[in-house]
């Protein structure tokens, strides 16, 4: 079972898809007259929340002018946990079949194992209005679910599956306590559940092009002295033409050979 190498990049694709939802968010700064004076794209990284907070708080003192602090606003996201989802499990012996890499091959893979990926998006700002602009560009799209489409197999681009992402909660913290010259950090934490299916390896086998059925009698007819069951007939079914492919129109050629008269 575990001696065959395969890698469908399912987790990597999930991370890339999740990050692509939030990699094009902007904030605007306006003057007292309402005119836009600055437009800034919010950077997005895959990183733990604790690492960003530690990096921000390294230079919390604004008097340290000889050091450059981490610029805000910015966002980060990460995977927190993997949870098996039994309610989405299909029959474990169920199989899916596709045309293989050639017309004479058949690709076979079993039903996937469903998991939920717990994803967390963190928004770091030093101005409340910046944080509110970012949050309001995200929440309307999750009510509470947003569905993306993924291609689970690189070799079979026509196979697609839906990948729902559910916003399960949001929390907020504001480090406003401390000295007046201390740096303020506003953090919004958005928790998501992302559905994912994990597939085993794909087996490539030959397409069945010939079916042969043999019929035997349990009781040996009179006149026969064989010490085994008597073969009555052989039924052979072949596609017509023989070089048929999965997308062709074809029929069948059936040949029946009688070996023993079963009425004896």
Supply φ then ψ for residue 241, to 5 degrees: -80, 170
From the list 143, 146, 153, the residue with the least C-alpha distance to 197 is 153
The answer to whether residue 72 scores a pLDDT higher than 80 is: yes
Q: Nearest 5°: CA angle at 109, between 106 and 113?
A: 170
- Which residue would you say has higher pLDDT here, 110 or 3? 110
Q: Does residue 69 register a pLDDT over 70?
A: no
Residue with tokens 């489409």: 149
What is the model's pLDDT at position 155? 79
Q: What percent of the chain has pLDDT over 70?
A: 78
Residue 65 above 70 pLDDT?
no
pLDDT digits (tens, 9 = 90+) for 85-106: 999 998 888 777 776 666 667 7
pLDDT tens column, 178-204: 555 566 788 999 999 999 999 988 877
Q: Which domains does the chain have, with CATH numbers?
A: 10-204 (3.30.2000.40), 208-258 (no CATH)
Strand partners, 171: 189
Find tokens 């073969």 and name the residue. Answer: 231
């Amino acid at each position: 079972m575990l001696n065959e190498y395969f890698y469908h990049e399912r987790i990597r694709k999930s991370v890339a898809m999740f990050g692509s939802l939030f990699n094009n968010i902007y904030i605007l700064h306006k003057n007292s007259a309402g005119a836009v004076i600055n437009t800034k794209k919010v950077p997005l990284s895959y990183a733990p929340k604790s690492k960003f907070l530690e990096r921000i708080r390294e230079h919390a003192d604004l008097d340290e002018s000889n050091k450059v602090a981490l610029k805000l606003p910015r966002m980060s996201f990460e995977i927190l946990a993997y949870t098996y989802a039994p309610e989405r499990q299909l029959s474990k012996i169920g199989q899916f079949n596709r045309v293989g890499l050639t017309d004479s091959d058949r690709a076979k893979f079993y039903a996937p194992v469903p998991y939920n990926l717990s994803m967390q998006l963190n928004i770091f700002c030093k101005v409340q209005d910046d944080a509110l602009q970012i949050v309001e560009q995200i929440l309307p799209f999750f009510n509470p679910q947003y569905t993306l489409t993924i291609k689970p197999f690189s070799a079979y681009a026509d196979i697609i599956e839906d990948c729902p992402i559910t916003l399960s909660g949001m929390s907020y913290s504001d480090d406003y306590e401390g000295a007046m010259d201390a740096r303020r950090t506003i953090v919004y934490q958005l928790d998501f559940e992302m559905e994912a299916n994990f597939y085993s390896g794909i087996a490539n086998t030959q397409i069945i092009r010939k079916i042969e059925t043999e019929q035997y009698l349990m009781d040996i007819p009179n006149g026969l002295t064989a010490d085994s069951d008597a073969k009555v007939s052989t039924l052979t079914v072949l596609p017509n033409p023989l070089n048929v492919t999965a997308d062709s129109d074809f029929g069948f050629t059936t040949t029946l050979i009688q070996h023993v008269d079963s009425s004896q």
